[in-house]
Amino acid sequence: MTEKTYSISELSEEFNITPRTLRFYEDQKLIAPSRNGQTRIYSKKDRARLAWILRGKRVGFTISDMGKLLDLYYLEGGKVKQRELGLQNCQARIETLERQKKDIDETLKELRKIIEMFKNWKPYPDQDNAKI
């Protein structure tokens, strides 16, 4: 049974990125698709890595951050040190993400306040201006 594979344009269309981006990620050692001659062939595993990278990006990590994290994750060697490093890394990331969630919630609150202000706007100011 031969696993499903993807061409560079298939994958880039699916994830709405350009081929250039995929080549760039390869350049940065984030993905290492196999080759048929010189043509890249992406496996399911490659696809999964890509999904991770892009999600990481969306929530504010750099691609080199993601590279390191993926490396730790896919590490074959189970040297205790490496595993601990991986754990610490993940935990640090979790903290960052949780702070970000709080930030987002606060920002959302304020945005909603602003929307109310826009909606309730009146041609003449009432006592409720000069708030910020």
Q: Which residues bind its own copies (CB under 8 A)?
A: 45, 48-49, 52, 55-56, 58-60, 73, 78, 83, 86-87, 90-91, 93-94, 97-101, 103-108, 110-112, 114-115, 117-119, 121-123, 132
Counted residue by residue, the chain has a size of 132
Binding flag, residue 110, DNA (CB under 7 A): no
Number of alpha carbons in the 13 Å side-chain half-sphere of residue 8: 18
From candidates 5, 15, 23, 93, binder to DNA by CB under 7 A: 23
Binding flag, residue 107, DNA (CB under 7 A): no
Match 């009432």 to its residue by tokens: 126
For its own copies, the closer CB: 12 or 61: 61
23 binds, among its own copies, DNA, none (CB under 5 to 8 A by kind): DNA
Say how far apart CA 50 and CA 29 lie, in whole Å: 12
Say how far apart CA 11 and CA 14 lie, in whole Å: 5
The answer for residues whose C-beta is within 8 angstroms of residue 17's C-beta and 6 or more apart is: 54
Restricting to residues 53-82, which ones interact with DNA according to CB under 7 A? 57, 62-64
